A and B are shown apart, each in its own frame.
Chain A
Amino acid sequence: MATPSLRGRLPRLANPRKTLKPNKPLILANRVGERRREKGEATCITEMSVMMACWKENEFRDSACKKEIQDFFECASRTQEARKMRSIQDTLGESGSLSPKKMNKLLQRFPNKPHLS
């Protein structure tokens, strides 16, 4: 269903309809809401479990599990770089409208004028 109309919703003496009684003044704020972040998931679980299995067998000695530890570190650095690339992509390439951060910066510089002068 389309958004219900806001026409004639302010309480006036001649208004028979159900009115809205907002608790804050109806003035545009100088910020927009943030994008909902995607639900991430835990990374490098397999490497971690392999490493921990190796630890359990070798009494937590690092010298016996060098290969697994190396794999775990490599996985961690790969995910870190992937995350950085993704965040750079988000900041650089905004198809359509601006990202919320840039919009907020712009609105901070040129705020809404509720007054006239």
Chain B
Amino acid sequence: MAAPVLKALRSGLGLVPGVTCAVWRVPGPAQVRWSRYGPEFRDPLVDKEHYRKPETELTEEEKYDQELKKTQLIKAAPATTTCSVFADPVISKFTNMMMKGGNKILARSLVTQTLEAVKRKQFEKYHAASAEEQATIERNPYIIFHQALKNCEPVIGLVPILKGGHFYQVPVPLPDRRRRFLAMKWMITECRDNKHRRTLMPEKLSHELLQAFHNQGPVIKRKQDMHKMAEANRALAHYRWW
């Protein structure tokens, strides 16, 4: 609503597009989480291989694109983007969900300590095991992390639907991102709430991740409870309209 007014003000004052003048802010509810970039801004491309290509290997489109970018405005890349080989989107998302009050340093250190704890536990098991068992023990903490979260993802979700004055929990298929979010959320909530006060987060998380990796533990149980509820309410599936 305020956007077209702001735009008219911007062009009226002859300001450079993309610069919002602080003085002429229209009174009203402050837009807190919306992007401050105008529609003319392009997204940044963070890819080392793309920029390392020599001039001769570029196609026509890429050459045109490069020339075009010299005149167009580009948004600033967020501080968390890397082109590092160690950057993992799942780990980044998990760190952001663990973060409290913007303390990314603490969240990231907890996650690294968790992965280290997982690796240490697995190595202890490895050295204590016989030759046949050593082949089955997984020692890569990233693989354990991904597999544990995949095991915790629910297949079907429940949605409250209002019908006849009552709310019924209707089983509904969930999109991928919702399932991933639920898995991570359950893992973090379980570790924060249902453990002893004095245990540290990396210790709790590593224990839960290893249990989930073997399809055991409270997070898997919560997922199965959700499945059981969905199975009990399968007759209500017709209340859905999508």
Whether A80 contacts B175 in the complex (CB less than 8 A), given A48-B156, A60-B224, A69-B155, comes out as: yes
Q: Are B228 and A60 within 8 A (Cβ)? A: yes
Q: Which residues on B are within 8 Å of A, measured CB to CB? A: 151, 155-156, 171, 173, 175, 215, 224, 227-228, 230-231, 234, 237-242
Interface of A is mostly: helix
Give 5 closest A-B pairs by Cβ, nearest first. Answer: A76-B173, A42-B240, A40-B241, A52-B231, A60-B224
Q: Can you list 7 pairs linking A and B with CB atoms under 8 Å apart?
A: A43-B240, A43-B242, A49-B234, A60-B231, A62-B151, A62-B155, A73-B173
Pair count A-B, CB < 8 A = 51
Which residues in A have their C-beta under 8 angstroms from that of B228? 60
Smallest Cβ-Cβ distance to A56: which chain B residue:
B231
Contacts from A to B (Cβ < 8 Å):
39-45, 48-49, 51-52, 55-56, 60-63, 69, 72-73, 75-76, 79-80, 83
Question: How many whole Å from B82's CB to the nearest CB in chain A?
Answer: 30
| Residues on the A chain within 8 Å of B171, using CB | 48
For residue B76, give the distance in angstroms from its CB to the closest CB of chain A. 31
Complex Cα gap A8–B238 (Å): 51
Write the chain B residue with the least CB distance to A45. B237
Q: Is the CB of B241 within 8 A of A41?
A: yes
Q: Is the CB of B237 within 8 A of A48?
A: yes
Q: Tell me if A44 and B173 are in contact (CB < 8 A).
A: yes
Of chain B, the residue at the smallest CB distance from A75 is B173
Specify which of B234, B241, B242 is in contact with A52 (CB 8 Å cutoff). B234
Is the pair B155, A51 in contact by a Cβ cutoff of 8 Å?
yes
